[in-house]
């Protein structure tokens, strides 16, 4: 056997060995994938899905700190707004009494103001006696709905997972439609009917395993849970198509097994390299402060890796299994050649590049004015969820409310009273609610200070009993000695003395008459609810209802002003103002950083991959300029239409476009650079476009239609925005790489060549005689001169440079070459 040259030859030989192992051990991989799929069908139910955007805010944001503080210090009871329509006020009052009498309801707000009765509709604000996350709160709401089943009712609540269930239902329908599209596209772009089940089985296996391994992340966002599988299909189906096309190409001269092995050995490095641009774009999302970026990036990168494993380990066995069926079901390709595109490119090579440059400059300026929003209230979706419809109906009759919480240090009711009074005087505030301005009884607020005489008169309690009660309370006061001498003027906040009295009665130190005891019980229940929600051991909470919208410059500026006002009363203290408006303010601030970071990192990651793919500094710059230009064009649409766009849609879609859509440009560029020195430039670009069109139309149509379906059929603002931008962006990418990139390559090929830094690897000239097997791209003489890719046997003399592949001496038994090849096939098949 002739000595093999090192470097590329050893690499090729190694890949052949790897491919041979995978193909020959296909039953082992069938078993492993079967086990993984069965496990995944069980484990896909283990994953926890986080439905709150705020959960992914950085720990340094005010919203995250405020929510953590409130969870630690306060109890949040389950609440619901229930609107009953088409009823007179008298009947609305009766319904109010019936709801209030339910054991599970601890508070009901309803009156004859337009806040609760308007246009023959009644709005009940109900608080249940269970925490918001307690299943009993949902059961209590079901009880209310059952009681009102004979009325037209609309329920708005943050309890439960109704929205998540609707999103899951929508994505199931979308997945089915995308599956139909995939099958249709594969049938139209296939060359043999039996290749379609090979491709589908490969993808379905990878998708199921992806779904089944989500639990490894512990908790994933509702966005990742909804769109990962659909995007995995659109992003990774290319890999299976590339391998399948390689196999069909090799099978023209080799039998099924050999074609499978050779195709796999070539596809592994080729597909791995192709996937790096997509992964590079996704890695950029991991640098986002907003945690959904990292969450989605990790989900999609894992999905791509599992897709690669499916193509490399499962698909070779499927090709062996379906190989004969593929041979029998060949048909004429439905994808036509498109020579007119190449001819158009050649004729307009001096026109399109400068025109495109003007377009992308204009698009950059326009897209920079894209109206990004940070919450759902200003987003219109083609489909409305049940919750959105209910909220809209309630808003029509009773208006909107924008509430934020103000969390301050506990322990000073006087400061709270002054702070609430100053806030109530602001026109940006509708009203506030805290212990210091909540009425208890007879005009007294919960935190008003009462003397023993005042308290005895309020409850019609014997003065001596009240005096003893105050004296017992004063024992725990640090100024006890001074208080004893002036007990008649000693004043205690109403809520504190009430709670103390209840504890004394409960422990048996004080006995009250039945009527007074009933009053105390009712008051204690209401006060305990107020304390649970508004006062913790270290913090107090006040609710501030704004007249401003949930987001906007005016709202964000006033949130800062609330801090300024509160800091006058609580100097050097940690003031927190959590709420939906603050959450959107935090998202706005993170977007200012994330926008720059994602763009820079995605460009750099893809640039590095392209740099070593093409061994040229000019090519990556041209390709990235093209795709970045398409991204600006994509986000010019909402700017021109003045259509609000959820900020996260831009961050995610721009990363996916940069990483995935650039593959289309790579297919065209790589083919053109290979052909441009072998034939006239016009013929090279025509041949390039004929070659690239089937790949681009297959992958591009799937990704575009997947995005369009998501954008048109999802009721969630974030998911809808991702779909719309991805679908539109992919269509723009296809148009640009088909009708602009070829002209750029024709005009810029000299720049690409001059910036090339490819290093020529010295090859060893191999000489041999007799029978030999040649696999790879070779240059030299075989009883004549040959340059090309060879797979076959030679008997004679050969003097060749083996550029990619190997040349092996075979033991010659003297039989005819045809007989020898047949014998080799029989031995391998055996």
Per-residue pLDDT tens digits for 342-357 = 899 999 999 999 999 9
In order, the DSSP letters of 778-806 are EEEESSSEEEEEEEEEEEEEEEEEEEEEE
**Sign of the torsion angle spanned by Cα atoms 576, 582, 583, 588:** negative
In this prediction, residues 720-749 reach a mean pLDDT of 91
Task: Please report how many Cα atoms fall inside a 13 Å half-sphere around the Cα of residue 161, on the Cβ side.
Answer: 13
> Average pLDDT for residues 296-321, to the nearest whole number?
92
Task: Identify the pLDDT of residue 795.
Answer: 66
When pLDDT is averaged across residues 614-633 and rounded to a whole number, the result is 87
* Per-residue model confidence (pLDDT) at position 5: 39
What's the pLDDT score for residue 4? 38
CA distances from 460 to 214, 309, 347, 453, 469 (A): 64, 80, 100, 10, 14
Q: Which of 243-257, 406-420, 646-660, 770-784 has the lowest mean pLDDT?
A: 770-784
Q: Give me the pLDDT at residue 755, please.
A: 80
The residues, any chain, with a CB within 8 Å of residue 830's CB and separated by 6 or more, are none
Q: What pLDDT does residue 407 have?
A: 94
pLDDT of residue 21: 93
- For tokens 């959904």, what's the residue? 292
Q: How confident is the model at residue 509 (pLDDT cuts 50, 70, 90)?
A: confident
Higher pLDDT residue, 597 or 814? 597
Terminal-to-terminal C-alpha distance of the chain: 24
The pLDDT > 70 percentage for the chain reads 89
Q: How confident is the model at residue 226 (pLDDT cuts 50, 70, 90)?
A: confident
Q: How far apart are CA 179 and CA 176, in angstroms?
A: 5
Has residue 777 got a pLDDT over 60? no
**Most confident of the ranges 30-34, 41-45, 247-251, 391-395:** 30-34
Whole-model pTM: value is 0.78
Tell me, what's the pLDDT at 432?
92
In the prediction, which pLDDT does 53 show? Answer: 79
Nearest CA-CA partner of 135 in 156, 161, 155, 153: 161
Contacts of 791 (CB under 8 A, 6+ apart): 250, 253, 254, 262, 774, 775
- Tell me the C-alpha to C-alpha distance, in Å, between residue 241 and each of 175, 720, 738: 20, 28, 20
Instruction: Report the alpha-carbon distance of residue 278 to residue 273 in Å, rounded.
Output: 10
Per-residue pLDDT reduced to its tens digit, 552-589: 899 999 999 999 999 999 988 889 999 999 999 998 99
Least confident of 363-372, 375-384, 736-745: 375-384
Tens digit of pLDDT for each residue in 230-242? Answer: 778 767 777 888 8
Count other Cβ atoms within 10 Å, centred on residue 21.
12
Q: Please, which pLDDT band fits residue 10 given cuts at 50, 70 and 90?
A: very low
Answer yes or no: is pLDDT of 787 > 70. no
Instruction: Report the 3 state secondary structure along 717-782.
Output: HHHHHHHHHHHHHHHHHHHHHHHCHHHHHHHHHHHHHHCECCCCCCCCEEEEEEEEEEEEEEEEEC
Over residues 477-500, the mean pLDDT reads: 75
What is the model's pLDDT at position 38?
95
In whole numbers, what is the pLDDT of the chain averaged over residues? 84
Element (H, E) at 212: helix 195-212
What does the pLDDT read at residue 465?
84
Which stretch of 72-86, 139-153, 814-828 has the lowest confidence by average pLDDT? 814-828
Instruction: Tell me which of 26 and 471 has the higher pLDDT.
Output: 26
Question: Distances from the Cα of 148 to the Cαs of 129, 155, 528, 583, in angstroms?
Answer: 19, 11, 29, 35
Q: Tens digit of pLDDT for each residue in 356-378? A: 999 999 999 999 999 999 988 88
Tell me the percentage of the chain whose pLDDT exceeds 90. 33
Task: Report whether pLDDT(279) > 60.
Answer: yes
Lowest mean pLDDT among 108-122, 130-144, 302-316, 482-496: 482-496
Q: What is the mean pLDDT of residues 599-628?
A: 84
Q: Is the pLDDT of residue 208 over 80?
A: yes
pLDDT for 2: 36
Q: Does residue 163 register a pLDDT over 90?
A: no
pLDDT tens, residue by residue, 489-507:
888 899 888 888 888 888 8
Residue 6: which pLDDT band, with cuts at 50, 70 and 90?
Answer: very low
Structure tokens at 168: 């899951």
Across residues 251-268, what is the average pLDDT? 88
Query: Per-residue pLDDT averaged across 790-818, rounded?
Result: 65
């Amino acid at each position: 056997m002739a000595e093999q040259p090192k470097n590329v030859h050893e690499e090729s030989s190694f890949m052949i060995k790897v491919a041979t192992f995978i193909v020959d051990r296909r039953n082992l991989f069938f078993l492993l994938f079967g086990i993984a799929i069965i496990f995944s069908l069980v484990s896909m139910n283990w994953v926890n899905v986080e439905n709150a955007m705020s959960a992914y805010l950085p720990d340094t944001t005010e919203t995250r700190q405020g929510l953590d503080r409130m969870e630690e210090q306060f109890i949040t009871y389950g609440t619901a707004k229930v609107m009953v329509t088409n009823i007179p006020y008298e009947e609305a009052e009766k319904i109010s009494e019936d709801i209030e009498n339910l054991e599970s309801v601890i508070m009901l707000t309803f009156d004859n103001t337009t806040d609760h009765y308007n246009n023959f509709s009644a709005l009940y604000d109900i608080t249940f006696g269970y925490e918001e996350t307690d299943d009993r709160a949902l059961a209590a709401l079901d009880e209310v709905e059952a009681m009102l089943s004979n009325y037209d009712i609309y329920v708005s609540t943050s309890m439960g997972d109704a929205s998540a269930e609707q999103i899951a239902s929508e994505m199931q329908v979308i997945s089915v439609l995308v599956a139909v599209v995939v099958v249709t596209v594969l049938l139209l772009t296939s060359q043999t009917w039996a290749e379609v089940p090979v491709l589908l089985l490969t993808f379905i296996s990878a998708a199921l395993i992806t779904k089944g391994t989500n639990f490894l992340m512990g908790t994933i966002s509702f966005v990742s849970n909804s769109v990962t599988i659909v995007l995995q299909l659109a992003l990774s189906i290319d890999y299976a198509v590339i391998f399948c096309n390689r196999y069909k190409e090799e099978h023209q001269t080799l039998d099924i097994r050999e074609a499978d092995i050779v195709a796999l050995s070539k596809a592994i490095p080729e597909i791995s390299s192709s996937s790096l641009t997509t992964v590079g774009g996704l890695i950029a999302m991991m640098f986002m402060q907003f945690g959904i970026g990292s969450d989605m990036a990790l989900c999609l990168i894992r999905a791509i890796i599992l897709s690669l494993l499916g193509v490399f380990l499962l698909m070779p066995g499927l090709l062996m299994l379906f190989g004969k069926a593929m041979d029998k079901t060949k048909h004429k390709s439905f994808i036509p050649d498109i020579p007119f595109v190449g001819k158009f490119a050649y004729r307009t090579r001096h026109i399109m590049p400068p025109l495109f440059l003007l377009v992308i400059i204009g698009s950059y300026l326009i897209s920079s004015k894209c109206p990004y929003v940070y919450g759902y209230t200003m987003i219109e979706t083609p489909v409305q969820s049940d919750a959105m419809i209910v909220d809209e109906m309630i808003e029509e009759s009773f208006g909107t409310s924008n509430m934020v919480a103000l969390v301050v240090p506990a322990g000073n009711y006087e400061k709270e009273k002054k702070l609430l009074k100053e806030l109530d005087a602001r026109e940006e505030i509708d009203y506030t609610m805290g212990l210091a301005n909540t009425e208890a009884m007879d005009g007294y607020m919960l935190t008003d200070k009462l003397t023993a005489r005042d308290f005895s008169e309020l409850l019609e309690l014997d003065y001596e009993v009240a005096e003893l009660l105050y004296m017992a309370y004063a024992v725990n006061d640090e100024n006890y000695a001074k208080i004893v001498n002036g007990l008649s003027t000693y004043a205690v906040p109403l809520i504190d003395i009430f709670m103390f009295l209840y504890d004394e009665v409960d422990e048996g130190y004080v006995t009250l008459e039945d009527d007074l005891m009933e009053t105390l019980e009712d008051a204690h229940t209401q006060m305990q609810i107020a304390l649970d929600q508004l006062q913790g051991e270290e913090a107090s909470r006040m609710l501030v209802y704004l007249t401003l919208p949930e987001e906007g410059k005016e709202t964000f500026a006033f949130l800062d002003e609330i801090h300024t006002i509160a800091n006058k009363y609580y100097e050097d203290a940690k003031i927190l103002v959590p709420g939906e408006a603050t959450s959107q303010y935090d998202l706005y601030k993170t977007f200012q950083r994330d926008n720059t970071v994602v763009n820079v990192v995605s460009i750099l990651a893809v640039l590095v991959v392209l740099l070593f793919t093409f061994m040229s500094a000019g090519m990556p710059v041209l390709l990235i300029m093209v795709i970045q230009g398409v991204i600006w064009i994509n986000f010019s649409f909402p700017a021109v239409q003045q259509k609000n766009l959820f900020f996260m849609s831009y961050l995610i879609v721009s990363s996916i476009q940069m990483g995935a859509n650039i593959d289309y440009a790579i297919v065209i560029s790589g083919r053109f650079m290979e052909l441009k020195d072998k034939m006239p430039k016009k013929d090279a670009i025509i041949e390039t476009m004929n070659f690239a069109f089937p790949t681009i139309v297959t992958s591009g149509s799937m990704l575009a239609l997947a995005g369009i379906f998501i954008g048109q059929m999802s009721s969630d603002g974030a998911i809808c925005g991702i779909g719309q931008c991805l679908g539109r962006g992919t269509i723009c990418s296809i148009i640009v790489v088909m009708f602009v990139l070829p002209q750029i390559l024709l005009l810029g090929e000299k720049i690409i060549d001059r910036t090339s830094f490819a290093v020529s690897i010295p090859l060893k000239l191999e000489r041999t005689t007799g029978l030999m097997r040649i696999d790879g791209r070779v240059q030299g003489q075989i009883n004549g001169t040959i340059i090309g890719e060879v797979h076959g046997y030679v008997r004679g003399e050969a003097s060749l440079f083996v550029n990619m592949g190997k040349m092996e001496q075979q033991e010659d038994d003297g039989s005819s070459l045809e007989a020898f090849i047949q014998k080799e096939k029989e031995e391998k098949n055996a």
